[in-house]
Amino acid sequence: MNRINKKLQEDGKLLSIYFTAGYPNLDDTVKIIGELEKHGVDMIEIGLPFSDPLADGPTIQESSTAALKNGMTTEILFEQLKDIRKTISIPLIIMGYFNPVLQYGVEAFCKKCMEIGIDGLILPDLPFDVYQEEYESIFKKYGLLNTFLITPQTSDERIFQIDGASEGFIYMVSSASTTGAKQGFGAEQQDYFKRIASLHLKNPQIVGFGISNSETFVQATEKAKGAIIGSAFIKHLTQNGVDSIANFIKSIRC
Amino acid sequence: MKLKVCGMKYNPGEVAALQPDYLGFIFWEKSPRSFDGEIPKLPPGIKKVGVFVNASLDEVVAKIKEYHLQAVQLHGSESPEFCKELKQYNFQEPIQIIKVFSIKDDFNFDELKPYESVCDYYLFDTKGKLPGGNGYTFDWKVLKGYPSIKPYFLSGGIGLEEIESLREFMKRPEAKYCHTIDVNSRFELEPGLKNIQKLKEFKKGLMKDEINMPSSLGERPVRGPYHANEKGYYGEFGGAFIPEMLYPNTEELRQNYVRIMEEPSFKQEFDQLLKDYVGRPTPLYFADRLSEKYGAKIYLKREDLCHTGAHKVNNTIGQILMAKKLGKNRIIAETGAGQHGVATATVCALMGIECVVYMGKIDIARQAPNVARMKMLGAEVRPALSGSRTLKDATNEAIRDWINNPVDTHYIIGSVVGPHPYPDMVARFQSVISEEIKWQLKEKEGRENPDYVVACVGGGSNAAGAYYHYLDNGDVGIIAVEAAGKGIDSGESAATSALGKVGIIHGSKTLLMQTQDGQITEPYSISAGLDYPGVGPMHAHLFRSGRGEFISITDDEAMTAGLEVAKLEGIIPAIETSHAFAIFDHKKFKKDDIVVINLSGRGDKDLDTYIDYFGL
């Protein structure tokens, strides 16, 4: 069974962390992953930086630009990760935009992911229908789970469609926004969380966007299986460096 | 839909005053409508069709010459060889050949095959005692089996009573290639004497709603292989590669844009604004001195005379009306040099709608006058601070704004780029350019089709508009001119077709300039309107399929050509457009070739660049 599915069966709420590979320094990738696992994070999204990340707010944009300036490439990331499974056992997901994957070659990319021990991909700008028509068979061949996003604007009909095509979890975008744009959840988000819970989907949901501290983590996971923190973690790295990751995780899971 | 009135004899002048597209003159002595008088001078835009039944080649040729016919309609058993000979006959102007086939209850469409390459149109008439003029219709359902993509004329006993059934017919797939409705005997007081009142009514009925759209949005174009399909693909290019956050926004637009554009009230408002506010139609100007210098008949389509100084406003007018129909009360846009930003701010002022324009911080610094114009027009200009802080980043920022404001905001994209349905929607709004070229050229040269249409391509909206109605017409050469910057191999270029690879940019699969690793790179051109790292999916397809010829022009060549046009024609073109004028060293034309260059914008905005470059 895929590590993601196993993890989702565990009791308790899951904390997933996103970071941009190659930031703050080109060679921080393995160290960041190690620290995150060591301090109890359940799942990691490794961000493959892209020059034009149009679903991301300023924090992730800046970390992506810096990572690319540091020299990060798909090839280098794979090289950095080649021995990652010797030390790391939690699920690892690569999250990025579709164009770098397309240039690497979708099949070559998936094959490499399997060899390394990557469990899944999140490619927000690879649309659901194109995935199903052109790429699903390749992802499956290499044992990769693909995760789709839903938002407060996604219709129930489309949510059921996405649920039907998913085999891991659903990435539930908390509000109509780019990453890192909102702070705290209002009544609107609470209603949305309740609405999704009432649909009784077959895949568990993990909430992303707008989670920055223990309060928002608790709110987001009241109904959902877990939550993803990205921008707030990157801000912490910028301000405090790679050595203080423990403090950040503790502040969430207090 | 076009209208042909046939059987002119006693009152062709009166009929011509109704402005049908074709007038038919029957040259067959046995017909009660046989014509032998003098054709009065007709208003421009009306084609004279000579109708023959098994006449000899000499007879037909003589009549064409005598009456300056533009088309012949062959009603007898003329062979494909006959058509071919006529087609190849060396007339002053090319002659269009309409071959007639008569239908009763069914029809063997295999009969068309030998004529496929030797005539321009088919005409389907009712089979009766006479070769035409029998006065009753055939069952149009037979046309379900129509296997060709050649446009055809629908004829045979059509009268006022048929308006309703015609309207029904037009909705059916077999009507896709129906080009013209041909009427005759049912609109007569006596053979050859037309009932003007009835014709007027028919034309009005024919024009009403779906059945006919002689609007700037184009008469139902025959949407062939070079147009977007349902999912927004041009060949392998296009589609909508967008994050889920944008799905509801683009989906709302996708589901509604065609319907709204086809609403009569929408068309009417769009046409009215293009006429009264933008100043359309823009002239098609014969550039005498340029023609003499380069040995071709060069026409300039004067989009530079549009309000705000470029073609961009055609699209912003269309999209602001679209936004209103969709109930949006806030507009966002991206801009590079500021031209699209100004065109958007202009229509927002016109409609009293809030407007936010994203512009790269670097562009804000180098395009100060346009920033000031947008502010005067009441728009807020927000700097894009991310990435390279130019056009592509301004586009990213606008998309991010749209993600954050999905309900009340419409995003007016300035070119034929972005996720479906934008490339198709923008192309349709810009298609007014080629729509006008067609009838203007017909007035001036007696033919709708130039030999070449030339346009500069950045994202490609002026080019898409200039090509639109010619895309599927192989007789018209399509030339796209890209900015080579300091040279294709210099590392400072914007020649996407030469340097780009297939990838995803701003939600569209197309050709784009990128690193081997899939990171989008920053293009360079002296003209701010051409330095976009991608190209619209329509153009990527035109390039890949070989339908379009792509030429790259350097900064130096463009600047020299711009100065030459100023001196030869008294027109200072935008530097974008100057690229299109620089093709004559790269492409040779024949003396009789009609070459239409889309003069997409005027050069006022570029004076500083011209001054610096030439030390004026």
Q: What is the pLDDT of residue B87?
A: 85
Flag residues of chain A having pLDDT under 50. none
Give the residue among B240, B237, B262, B258 at the shortest CA–CA distance from B249.
B240
* Residue at token pair 């050709």: B511
Q: Summarize pLDDT for B274-288 with one digit per residue, the tens.
A: 999 999 999 999 999
Give the residue on A whose Cα is nearest the Cα of B522.
A51
Question: Residue type for B43, please?
Answer: P
Interface test with A, best of B510, B519, B520 (most A CBs within 10 A): B519
Task: Report d(CA B522, CA B492) in Å as an integer.
Answer: 9
- Selecting from B387, B405, B517 the residue whose C-beta is nearest the C-beta of A103 gives B517
State the catalytic residue, choosing from A10, A45, A83, A136: A45
* Residue at token pair 């009264």: B276
A172 to chain B, minimum CA–CA distance in Å? 10
* Local confidence band at B462 (pLDDT 50, 70, 90 cut-offs): very high
Chain B residues inside the 8 Å CB shell of A56: 400
Across B460-483, average pLDDT: 96
B57 to chain A, minimum CA–CA distance in Å? 56
CB-CB under 8 Å, A65 with B386: yes
Task: Report d(CA B520, CA B505) in Å as an integer.
Answer: 8
State the catalytic residue, choosing from B150, B194, B203, B312: B312
Judged by a CB distance cut-off of 8 A, whether residue B387 touches chain A is: yes
Across B475-482, average pLDDT: 97
B398 to chain A, minimum CA–CA distance in Å? 9
- Out of B103-107, B220-224, B312-316, B383-387, pick the least confident: B220-224
Q: Summarize pLDDT for B491-532 with one digit per residue, the tens.
A: 999 999 999 999 999 999 999 999 999 999 999 999 988 989
Across B409-415, average pLDDT: 97
Judged by a CB distance cut-off of 8 A, whether residue A161 touches chain B is: no
Q: What is the pLDDT of residue B116?
A: 85
Residue B262 is a catalytic residue: no
Chain A residues inside the 8 Å CB shell of B514: 99, 103
- Selecting from B403, B518, B519 the residue whose C-beta is nearest the C-beta of A55 gives B403
Task: Report d(CA B110, CA B101) in Å as an integer.
Answer: 12
Chain B residues inside the 8 Å CB shell of A57: 400
Across B433-459, average pLDDT: 96
- Selecting from A53, A65, A177 the residue whose C-beta is nearest the C-beta of B404 gives A177
State the catalytic residue, choosing from B102, B185, B527, B600: B600
Task: Report d(CA B439, CA B596) in Å as an integer.
Answer: 13
Q: What is the pLDDT of residue B213?
A: 37
* Local confidence band at B131 (pLDDT 50, 70, 90 cut-offs): confident
State the catalytic residue, choosing from A56, A79, A129, A188: A56
Tokens for B491, please give them. Answer: 């590392």
Q: What is the pLDDT of residue B208?
A: 65
Judged by a CB distance cut-off of 8 A, whether residue B511 touches chain A is: no
Task: Report d(CA A219, CA A193) in Å as an integer.
Answer: 9
Angle at which helix A231-240 crosses helix A58-69, to 10 degrees, equals 60
Give the residue on B whose Cα is nearest the Cα of A148.
B244
Q: Summarize pLDDT for B75-101 with one digit per residue, the tens.
A: 999 999 999 999 888 887 778 999 999
- Selecting from A51, A154, A178 the residue whose C-beta is nearest the C-beta of B519 gives A51
CB-CB under 8 Å, B516 with A103: yes
Task: Report d(CA A207, CA A205) in Å as an integer.
Answer: 6
Give the residue on A whose Cα is nearest the Cα of B399.
A54
- Selecting from A58, A148, A155 the residue whose C-beta is nearest the C-beta of B386 gives A58
Give the pairing of strands B152-154 and B121-126: parallel
Chain A residues inside the 8 Å CB shell of B518: 50, 74, 99-104
* Residue at token pair 């599915």: A5
Percent of chain B residues past pLDDT 70, beyond the cut: 97
pLDDT of B432 strictly over 60:
yes
Note the helical H segments in chain A: 3-9, 29-38, 58-69, 74-81, 98-104, 106-116, 128-130, 136-141, 156-165, 187-198, 214-220, 231-240, 245-252
Query: Do residues B85 and B60 touch, judged by C-beta distance below 8 A?
Result: no
Give the residue on A whose Cα is nearest the Cα of B508.
A125
Strand order from edge to edge, sheet including B297-302: B284-286, B297-302, B594-599, B452-456, B477-485, B548-554
The A residues from 185 to 244 touching B (CB cutoff 8 Å) are none
* Local confidence band at B45 (pLDDT 50, 70, 90 cut-offs): confident
Task: Report d(CA B336, CA B441) in Å as an integer.
Answer: 33
Residue B215 is a catalytic residue: no
Query: Do residues B613 and B559 touch, judged by C-beta distance below 8 A?
Result: yes
Model's pTM, two decimal places? 0.76
Q: What is the pLDDT of residue B219?
A: 43
Give the residue on A whose Cα is nearest the Cα of B520.
A51
CB-CB under 8 Å, A130 with B518: no
A130 to chain B, minimum CA–CA distance in Å? 9
pLDDT of B218 strictly over 60:
no
- Which has the higher per-residue pLDDT, B117 or B376? B376
CB-CB under 8 Å, A127 with B239: yes
Q: What is the pLDDT of residue A170?
A: 97
- Selecting from B245, B392, B503 the residue whose C-beta is nearest the C-beta of A173 gives B245
Q: What is the pLDDT of residue B223?
A: 64
B247 to chain A, minimum CA–CA distance in Å? 8
- Selecting from B248, B392, B504 the residue whose C-beta is nearest the C-beta of A102 gives B504
State the catalytic residue, choosing from B188, B303, B334, B436: B334
Residue A56 is a catalytic residue: yes
